[in-house]
Homo-oligomer: A and B are copies of this chain.
Amino acid sequence: MENRISFKNDYSEGAHPAILSLLMDTNFNQEPGYGEDSLSKAAKDKIREALGKSEAEIFFVAGGTQANLLLISHLLKPYESVIAADTGHIEVHETGAIEYTGHKINLVKNIAGKLTVQGIDDVVSLHTDHHMVKPKLVYLSQTTELGTVYKKQEIKEIADYCKSNNLFLYVDGARLGVALTSPYNDLSLADLAELTDAFYIGATKNGGLLGEALVFNRPELAEGFPYTLKQRGALMAKGRLLGAQFLALFSDNLYFQLAEHANTQAMRLAKAFEAKGYAFASQPESNQLFPILPVELIERLQQDFEFYVWEKRSSEEAVVRLVTSWATDPKDVEKCMLTL
């Protein structure tokens, strides 16, 4: 086994102990299957409360790719397409999962990992008749795949454009926790519920064993969704397992505390890099850092730490990615800082 400390991602550890405790405590209760259990029901109530949206429809699924493909293929007709940034997770890192459900992704060149209204409008304007797909859903990730955070105004402008142009707006929240607790953030969970048609709240990357909570802000869009879940193999028999993750995470503000911890550790690291004069390929705004480092330093860091070398810049420099999480030990961050 690997002895180095891993900053490779935010899913290297198991779950926050509160989740394991809840699983233990409720283990021998007999519960109905397929999401009808009392834990899932209580968890959904907690989330609706946090959203300030009692009519929201919520479904728990196992992972992010699953959440994306289920939501998108549920909402679109076969000839309708998705608009996404060229850095979007669905474009690059989901093995064509969206295309497998039959839908094209129309790409927009990202700016700092983000979509812009201009970029979306360029796609919409280009698609004029039935010889082309019909763009119908805008997909964005919060935080973005580059660790940046959309400001409320940016999302509002996109949301306004979507409303005017009869497009759905859907937010991939694999890392929604660190977005909402980022020092750069000015958006609330309630804002998100107001501005979008649907989004998901990621637990896998914020302390859960697994689980993403798909939220339909307009309940009519969720019609038939249990069929979609079952048909794609996403309806878990012991739904209690998913319910327990979110019940624990949405009790006592735990979800936000864990994300804040990840951000705090990332910012400590970021400042250390800055202090040494290193630039970033993408501004550090959440738990993913993309410093541009000399090869010599990279090799030195690799002796004690695991992380991805993201992109070679020259024979002397490369961008690396370092990720902190709810489970990052502040002492490990310190150790890393001292190595710089």
Top 5 A-B residue pairs of the complex, sorted by shortest distance between their CB atoms: A66-B233, A14-B27, A79-B227, A130-B226, A96-B104
Known pairs A12-B30, A63-B235, A79-B95. 9 more at Cβ < 8 A? Answer: A5-B30, A11-B33, A12-B33, A14-B23, A20-B20, A92-B132, A94-B131, A130-B230, A210-B238
Assess the B14–A228 pair: CB atoms within 8 A: no
Assess the B232–A97 pair: CB atoms within 8 A: yes
Q: Distance in Å from the Cβ of A267 to the closest Cβ of chain B?
A: 21
Nearest to A208 among chain B residues (CB) is B238
**Chain A: interface secondary structure?**
loop
Assess the B30–A2 pair: CB atoms within 8 A: yes
Assess the B97–A233 pair: CB atoms within 8 A: yes
Nearest to A64 among chain B residues (CB) is B237
CB contact under 8 A between A78 and B69, given known A33-B11, A134-B227: no
Assess the A233–B231 pair: CB atoms within 8 A: no
- A–B pairs, 13, beta carbons within 8 Å: A1-B29, A23-B209, A28-B327, A65-B235, A66-B232, A66-B234, A77-B227, A93-B132, A95-B133, A97-B233, A99-B99, A204-B237, A232-B232
Q: Which residues A52-76 have CB closer than 8 A to chain B?
A: 61-70, 73
Q: Does A40 contact B (CB under 8 A)?
A: no
Q: Distance in Å from the Cβ of A181 to the closest Cβ of chain B?
A: 21
Q: Which residues of A contact B (CB under 8 A)?
A: 1-2, 5-6, 8-9, 11-15, 17, 20, 23-24, 26-34, 38, 61-70, 73, 77-79, 81, 92-97, 99-104, 107, 130-134, 204-205, 209-210, 224, 226-238, 240-241, 327
